[in-house]
Amino acid sequence: MKHVHCTARASLLLLTSFLIYLAGHSQSTMIRGKVSDAATKETISGASISVNNSSAATTSNSEGIFEVRAAENDAIIISYVGFETKTVKAAGTFIDVQLSQSVTQLNDVVVTALGIRKEVKKIGYAVQEVKGEDLIRARDQNPISGLTGKVAGLSVGPSAEMLRKPTVLLRGNEINLYVVDGIPISSDTWNISPDDIESYSILKGPTAAALYGSRAQYGAILITTKKGLKRKGFSVELNSTNAIDKGFLAFPRLQDEYGPGENALYAFGDGKGGGLNDNDYDVWGPKFAGQLIPQYDGKYDPNTTYTTTFPGGRVWKGNIAPTPWMARGKNNLGNFLRTGFQSTNNIALNASGDNYDLRFSLSNSSQKSIIPNTQLNITNFNLYGSYNVSKRFKLEANMNFNYQASPNFPDVDYGPNSLIYSVAIWTGADWNVNAPDIKGIWQPGKVGTQSVFAEYQRYH
């Protein structure tokens, strides 16, 4: 009996020691850090951060800051395009990481401002090239948006609105110049099909882009389009991409306990001040509790007077029948939006011979927005031909046609045309965005032409 007792005691001691060991080695903390360029000291956004032997991973934000959970002495791996990958040990709660530019890219060949291909080491300024084929696998309708995370010092802020150009920052300064086959373009980059792009060259700084003047004071993006095959022959290229758009990652938090009005008082009269606090949409009205209150959808009877008594003794009399005061639309913004869909299809014919190059390309992109009754169709047609008359004389011709069609262009910023402004900020939960009377926005006999005027009767 005594021997058994000693064995159990020894086993308990071993188990306790093992648990203490596991606790000491599995305890992890949140590590914050900052990623910057070792040469320029500028912060790097979009850098990849991962923890060795762990699924924890993240990226640095626009200020180069990141947060990742790791145990003490874990190996944290930081990498970014154009820079050497760096591994540091998790120590403390904050680490400062400085990445050095990769020296293996010195032998790369890029397109310069003059459209001439040269080795990087032979030019006296910073330039980086991205192959067009790298951006069509997981594409965006705007070819510039795909450069995110592929160019050192370049950040792209895509817009949630259709046909709104993305914000492109190079080393913290906005880029406003795009050059296509040596020609600066004044229009936006929606006019270019990603399937027609051979490569992107990012000229960094005024020295690199001095040829283009003051518009290129912070740099420029050169786009080289495809021009036939690199060998003799004929080819047919087909490309199709489909994507689902789930919309916003987060929605604003909205209260749904109180309705419109002021000082817990509200009664609808005409939406223009004829009622009780019904001339503006301040959500300081009565609490939703199912009580009967005159509302916009109540039946109007000029021969009947309805009396509503509020807590505190305030009495309202009117000709609109009271209806239950309830939160009918607790998630109006989310219920209003839908799942978007994007489909892009391209066919290209290429032919090359001893003295000529030909290319024909047709692209169609169809995007159904997350906003109802909104879609965008873009058709691109490109035709290129060249003929070598002699070794020193070459004829080239290039034609590009772009057609864009959309029934309307919604706005998601703050303003009267914005869905967030209308659905989330200046409305409440007293109405349901999917109710038949709310969705019936067209005047009888004028569907698609003239909507019902209800600006001050209800916000929708």
Which pLDDT value is given to residue 108? 57
Q: How far apart are CA 144 and CA 159, in angstroms?
A: 12
Residue of 161 and 264 predicted with greater confidence? 264
**Does 172 score more than 50 pLDDT?**
yes
Classified as helix, coil or strand, 417 is coil
Which pLDDT value is given to residue 413? 56
Write the pLDDT tens digit of every residue in 338-396.
898 989 899 999 999 888 999 999 999 898 888 888 888 999 999 999 999 988 898 99
Residue 137's pLDDT band (cuts 50, 70, 90): low
The pair phi, psi for residue 86, each rounded to 5°, is -125, 140
Residue of 2 and 98 predicted with greater confidence? 98
The answer to whether 371 and 337 are in contact (CB under 8 A) is yes
Q: How far apart are CA 106 and CA 101, in angstroms?
A: 10
Q: What is the mean pLDDT of residues 192-207?
A: 83
Residue of 175 and 303 predicted with greater confidence? 303
Which pLDDT value is given to residue 454? 56
Write the pLDDT tens digit of every residue in 274-286.
889 988 777 889 9
Residue of 139 and 104 predicted with greater confidence? 139
Which pLDDT value is given to residue 138? 63
Cα angle at 300 between 302 and 333, to 5 degrees?
160
**Does 25 score more than 90 pLDDT?**
no
Residue 119's pLDDT band (cuts 50, 70, 90): low
**Does 287 score more than 90 pLDDT?**
yes
Residue limits of CATH 2.60.40.1120 in the chain: 25-101
**Does 243 score more than 60 pLDDT?**
yes
Residue of 261 and 7 predicted with greater confidence? 261
Residue limits of CATH 2.170.130.10 in the chain: 105-225
pTM for the full predicted model: 0.60
Which pLDDT value is given to residue 14? 42
Tell me the residue ranges of DSSP E strands in 126-272.
126-131, 154-157, 167-170, 173-174, 178-180, 183-185, 197-204, 219-225, 233-245
CA distances from 180 to 84, 188, 225 (A): 31, 11, 7
Domain at 25-101, CATH class: mainly beta
**Does 27 score more than 50 pLDDT?**
yes
Q: How far apart are CA 84 and CA 218, in angstroms?
A: 25
Classified as helix, coil or strand, 146 is helix
Q: What is the mean pLDDT of residues 152-161?
A: 73
Domain at 105-225, CATH class: mainly beta
Which pLDDT value is given to residue 330? 87
Q: What is the mean pLDDT of residues 24-31?
A: 68
Range in 93-107, 310-324, 328-342, 396-410 with the lowest mean pLDDT: 93-107
* Mean pLDDT for all residues in the chain: 80
